[in-house]
Amino acid sequence: MKTSLIVYASALIFGSVGQASSQNLDFDNIEIYADQVAPHFYSLTASKNMDPLHPEGAGGRIGVYVGPDAIFVVDATYPRLYQKIIQAIRKISDKPIKYLANTHEHRDHVSGNVNFGKHGTTILARQEVREAMIKPQPPEDTVSSTDPARLPTITYGFGPPVKIWMAQETVQLIPLKKAHTDGDTMIKFDESNVIMVGDFYRNYGYPFIDLQEGGTVDGTIEALTVLEANSAPDTKLLPGHGDIVSREDLKFYRQIVLEVKQKVLDAVRAGKSKQDVLSAKLTAPYDSKVNGGLDLLPGGKATTADRFVAAVYDDLKRSTP
């Protein structure tokens, strides 16, 4: 009871940010950009400064593997961008879009599933993603949140990677312990040497650990370890939000999470309140190096640094005797 109250209070302060509404975006003027990152792999991102939650690019990144006979897509952003996404994909290939995999359950990654599902694409995700999507959704997205075509039809739990053998590519769906949410998967394309990371790592704003959707600090740290272990120095890491990075870039992010966790833990043990901890501005040593870290979240009251520190506090508070 106590835990859920804390999490709920946090959601009230910081907004239900993962699940925030996308209904008011100017979809007609959002463009989709395709960047080739490997011979058969493309990153699709959307216009900057059009989505208050994602000024670095509206919605979430989409990954597109283009094989000789079929296409594999990762994440589906918002449903109203579907036609533009298909136009971008069709400039690259006319092959069928056989699979869509979701990195996690946030709406900026899954609400576009519905259109892919209706056109016969097989949707794969964690069981936790399917369960989260079945829960009642905000009313504005009625079609994308009630049509059965939106739901993953092949699901798996936290366990060994699920492998999909395409003609010239092995795709590994690597489940992660509760990190950004309780249903995170990173998706590795072995031959392309590309990993679609999801959102437990981001390089626009501070880490977002969504306690409401089952995320945890320790799971985030562990997910970073799994990502590092699966990456070679030249592997391209494509986060759900922000720039494409490499294994080396993870070090700074891991350092932030570890150091902030330790500082917050000390504060929790010393009996400090959440307000004390937020007022201490624990991220100050990193602020100048974290792009968008002090951007205000929709609502204008809290920064992504505040959201991060508050989540760490709430998570540690509920697990510290």
Binding stretches for Zn ion (CB under 5 A): 106, 199
Shortest Å distance, C-beta 280 to Zn ion: 27
**In what side-by-side order are the strands of the sheet with 194-198?**
162-165, 170-175, 185-189, 194-198, 236-239
The DSSP letter of residue 260 is H
Radius of gyration, alpha carbons of the chain: 19
Q: Which is nearer to Zn ion, 124 or 277 (CB)?
A: 124
Shortest Å distance, C-beta 179 to Zn ion: 10
Shortest Å distance, C-beta 92 to Zn ion: 26
Q: Which is nearer to Zn ion, 277 or 297 (CB)?
A: 297
Q: Which is nearer to Zn ion, 106 or 307 (CB)?
A: 106
Shortest Å distance, C-beta 18 to Zn ion: 5
Q: Which is nearer to Zn ion, 132 or 166 (CB)?
A: 132
Q: Compute the half-sphere exposure of residue 277: CA atoms within 13 Å on the CB side of its CA.
A: 27
Shortest Å distance, C-beta 200 to Zn ion: 9
Q: Which is nearer to Zn ion, 106 or 150 (CB)?
A: 106
Sign of torsion over alpha carbons 225, 231, 233, 239: negative
- Note the Cα 319 to chain centre separation in Å: 24
Residues 113 and 74: their CA atoms lie apart, in Å, by: 10
- Note the Cα 195 to chain centre separation in Å: 13
